[in-house]
Chain A
């Protein structure tokens, strides 16, 4: 996946809603369509986009497919925060070691 794919996928309000529903619990196409003001085929198209963006995965269950949020994400979130805090603490160090009374103090 690329970031652009994921941005585009989640920028659409319907897809965001589908994604949030799947975050609550895994679901099949029919179940999602029943609770949304869009057709079953539209839901399928949205799911394909989310899947292509790496945001959801699907598993066969009998004659249908059950869609779920990709569980690798928590690890990704942790990695993201790891990078964020690395940058933030580096910035903090620069700031706190600057001379007292410097501008911005």
Chain B
């Protein structure tokens, strides 16, 4: 197959809060804004933890007590920058091979009026390998990604 390189996903938002608080909410209070369907636990998501150090993890915990460490914190520079890996495989499992994971960099920059520009780049997506393509195709409709992904995860989990 011809090699396909991915371009990074980039998105940004200006929020009406100072840099310090934007950084804190993004990391320490991640559970307050993270789309709740977006996890790979079999149980419902009960809580999330963003460990505030390089080498830490982002951890999802289910209502049944199970946990999932789906990201490694690669850079932690409060209140300006954080980088974490995206360790999720085709089969909705944690990807243990770092060579097959992508990464997300988030920066926090002050702008006029005490506001903050949050810039996010999700890069090296092609490292996930060809397998990710079908997973995405399965859930990639513009309207259906949230519900679709949850259904897909449940289906994979049911093993049928």
Contacts and interface: CB of A to CB of B under 8 A. Distances in A.
B9 A95 contact: no
B138 A73 contact: no
Residue of B16, B17, B130, B140 with most partner-chain A CB within 10 A: B130
Given A68-B1, A85-B120, A93-B15, A76 B133 contact: yes
Given A3-B139, A77-B6, A69 B32 contact: no
Contacts of B120: 85, 89
Contacts of B144: 3
Q: DSSP class of A's interface residues: helix, strand, loop or mixed?
A: helix
Contacts of B128: 77
- Band of interface residues on A: 35 or more
A82 to B, nearest CB: 5
Contact of B33 (A1, A55, A88): A88
Given A3-B148, A74-B125, A79 B15 contact: no
A59 to B, nearest CB: 10
A25 B1 CA distance: 8
Interface stretch (A7-15, A32-40, A41-49): A7-15
Contact of B134 (A13, A24, A73, A94): A73
A31 to B, nearest CB: 15
Give the top 5 A-B pairs by smallest Cβ distance, nearest first: A73-B133, A23-B131, A6-B138, A23-B130, A95-B33
9 contacts: A3-B139, A6-B138, A9-B134, A26-B1, A71-B1, A80-B139, A82-B9, A83-B142, A89-B118
Interface of A: 1, 3, 6-7, 9-11, 13, 16, 19-20, 22-26, 50, 53-56, 68-97, 100, 104-105
Given A23-B134, A81-B125, 13 more contacts: A7-B148, A16-B91, A19-B131, A23-B129, A56-B134, A73-B130, A73-B134, A76-B137, A77-B6, A77-B125, A77-B140, A93-B15, A96-B33
